[in-house]
Structure 1
Amino acid sequence: MLNAATHYQVDYSDLSLVLALVRGGTLARAAALLRVDVSTVFRAVRRLEASLGQALFEKSRAGYLPTSVASTLAEQAERAEQALEAARIGVELGAEVISGTVRLTCTDSVLQGILLPALAQFMPNYPALTLELSTSNDFANLSRRDADIALRLTNTPPEHLVGRRLGTVSYRVCASAGYRQQHATQEWAALAWIAPDDFLPDHPTVAWRRQHLPGVTPSYRCNSMLSATELVRAGLGVAALPDFLLGEKHGLQPLGPALAGYDTALWLLTRPDCRALRSVVTLFDELGRHVRLPGHSL
């Protein structure tokens, strides 16, 4: 990666300098992060590049753009920063600290309705633990090793993953209070329907609608249940939504009972190789203890 002829040994101050300029993008913002003046940052960068025998940044109208070498150094600097923070917290607390980065994936609706309330209960107890969240509708994240833990709504979790079944999610046809009052006398088939698009062809609400309302063509199609929920909240129509997105705080009203026979299980999943990582095991166990579904006491 670096010019071996220089024999220069990169130290923590060098990493801090590179990380500040990568984060700031300009000399002025990097100087503010490092609490020094702009000329000091400029001279330090020039000196480091000369010592390494190669450029770390490209000057452009947008600011300082990192080369691949600078990006790699910045990643190492972030790891060092996290390690130092974990050590500091450990000294302050006088206890063993769980640290590291855990990548978690779920759908946006599960994030809003289920995951966030759980995280709020225990994440403050792990100040050295970094959580990277991504929203996705498939299992490829874990299969490609892009994620360590997944919260998924499915009745058939992949066999190559391991985990726990946390409960059952039901679905109900819902509308906003205004839409329900305005269309109180109409049959369900005559209402404006909001539904998942072809990205979720096997969603249980799609299967239910095709069986019970085969003549209905949705007026709106969404690539996520959270988006469908927002359209219902706006009074644009009705949709079959998961029960964890209902309730007074969401401003939605069910038009009938849960859709019988179309429940979905909520699974907490990980890869077998992740069970050796303390950070992943800790987060996995905490989620298992704190995730709650409507009508369930786990």
Structure 2
Amino acid sequence: MRSLDWELLPSFLAVARAGSLRAGADLLHTNYGTVNRNIQSLEASYGVALFLRSHKGFTLTEAGEALLPFAEQAEDVIINARKRVEGLDKTEAGTLRFSVTPTFAYDVITPIISRFQEAYPDIQVELRLTTAVENINKDETDVSLRAAYDVSGDVVARKLYPMAVGIYASKSYIDTTFAKAGPQGAGLSWIGFPDSAQYSNMISQSPFPHADMRHMVSDGYMRLRLLRENCGISYLPVVFEQFFPDLCRVPGTKLELGQSLWIVLHADLRKTVRVRRFVDFLAGALMDMRRDMQGELFRR
């Protein structure tokens, strides 16, 4: 394989996965023109078209289909080599990438990052705020904080504890709209998740199954804003009571334990000192918050 291939194959993989130049450029965090030039150069190097172009996007030709598994293997080799070498790093310095949802990042994680910075001034944390589950094995991130019932895959996952969730609304919404609500929540509005069977099931089993689904948003922090603007009711981790005193648990409802907090990292990074220091610090800080995360359901 020519040395040029190593530089161009990421663009090939990105377009093959995304189906267009612009979407592929977004995956690589680069621009459309760079990806377009790389694809053209790779096709010129091989002397064959790798994609069929149409107004619907890019689809692989027979030659592109033949190249795809080899390109994926090359990607895996490079990623595994990087992780293995990084795992040998014994210094308390350098950068690590940390993925977390915006919901937790702003109020829960920011103070932890501040304290970590004081304890380890030579370790830089690149915060990646996303609601997507970034693929650690594909080198999209180094460490991830996830809320889930279970974590699978070839990763190291440290389970902390289940979080308590309840049904919340603004005090104003409770004082005004609830007074006019009918049986089982008729006349109330839920703020939900798009295309979430799990959330729909939670609503059907809640005290308010007849409330309508007025708004849907995947971003948890936007859900908080909608609650504070009197737009409805929603399930929310109990920990946010301390950050937003204008939000109240709906009277007559109870907390319940939901998804657990998990810290996830690549197996080869367990021995990387900066990663181990961060994971241990993060786990300790979150364990100290367990009472706040579980509210009245907290048990030692």
Give the TM bin, normalised by the shorter chain: 0.5 to 0.7
What is the SS of the residue equivalent to 1:265? strand
Change (3 A) 1:288 1:240: same
How far 1:170 sits from its partner (Å)?
1.7
In the alignment, the residues of structure 1 paired with residue 226 and residue 137 of structure 2 have an alpha-carbon distance, to the nearest angstrom, of: 32
How far 1:164 sits from its partner (Å)?
1.6
Change (3 A) 1:202 1:116: farther
Aligned to 1:252: 247
What is the SS of the residue equivalent to 1:170? strand
In the alignment, the residues of structure 2 paired with residue 165 and residue 297 of structure 1 have an alpha-carbon distance, to the nearest angstrom, of: 17
Write out aligned runs for 1:1-298 (5 A): 98-185=92-179, 186-187=181-182, 188-198=185-195, 201=196, 203=198, 205-212=199-206, 214-247=209-242, 249-255=244-250, 256-260=252-256, 263-291=258-286, 292-293=289-290, 294=292, 295=295
C-alpha contact (below 8 Å) 1:165/1:267 kept by paired residues: yes
How far 1:285 sits from its partner (Å)?
0.8
Amino acid in structure 2 at the alignment position of 1:135: L
Cα-Cα RMSD = 2.5
Whose Rg is larger?
A: 1
In the alignment, the residues of structure 2 paired with residue 127 and residue 196 of structure 1 have an alpha-carbon distance, to the nearest angstrom, of: 38
C-alpha contact (below 8 Å) 1:104/1:132 kept by paired residues: yes
Q: Percent identity?
A: 22
Amino acid in structure 2 at the alignment position of 1:195: G
In the alignment, the residues of structure 2 paired with residue 230 and residue 177 of structure 1 have an alpha-carbon distance, to the nearest angstrom, of: 14
In the alignment, the residues of structure 1 paired with residue 223 and residue 117 of structure 2 have an alpha-carbon distance, to the nearest angstrom, of: 29
C-alpha contact (below 8 Å) 1:194/1:218 kept by paired residues: yes
C-alpha contact (below 8 Å) 1:247/1:253 kept by paired residues: no
C-alpha contact (below 8 Å) 2:186/2:211 kept by paired residues: yes
Residue deviations 1:220-257 (CA, integer Å, cap 9, x gap) = 11121211111001111111111122236341000043
What is the SS of the residue equivalent to 1:190? coil
Change (3 A) 1:195 1:115: same
Segments ≥4 residues shifted beyond 6 Å: none
Change (3 A) 1:139 1:249: closer
Amino acid in structure 1 at the alignment position of 2:189: A
In the alignment, the residues of structure 1 paired with residue 153 and residue 240 of structure 2 have an alpha-carbon distance, to the nearest angstrom, of: 29
C-alpha contact (below 8 Å) 1:233/1:250 kept by paired residues: no
In the alignment, the residues of structure 1 paired with residue 191 and residue 261 of structure 2 have an alpha-carbon distance, to the nearest angstrom, of: 23
Change (3 A) 1:161 1:276: same
In the alignment, the residues of structure 2 paired with residue 190 and residue 211 of structure 1 have an alpha-carbon distance, to the nearest angstrom, of: 17
In the alignment, the residues of structure 1 paired with residue 107 and residue 177 of structure 2 have an alpha-carbon distance, to the nearest angstrom, of: 27
Amino acid in structure 2 at the alignment position of 1:244: V
What is the SS of the residue equivalent to 2:213? coil
Amino acid in structure 2 at the alignment position of 1:167: Y
What is the SS of the residue equivalent to 1:160? coil
In the alignment, the residues of structure 1 paired with residue 197 and residue 245 of structure 2 have an alpha-carbon distance, to the nearest angstrom, of: 25
What is the SS of the residue equivalent to 1:228? helix
In the alignment, the residues of structure 2 paired with residue 216 and residue 150 of structure 1 have an alpha-carbon distance, to the nearest angstrom, of: 35
How far 1:271 sits from its partner (Å)?
1.1
Change (3 A) 1:144 1:216: farther
Gaps (5+ residues) in structure 1? 2-95
Gaps (5+ residues) in structure 2? 4-89
Amino acid in structure 2 at the alignment position of 1:221: M
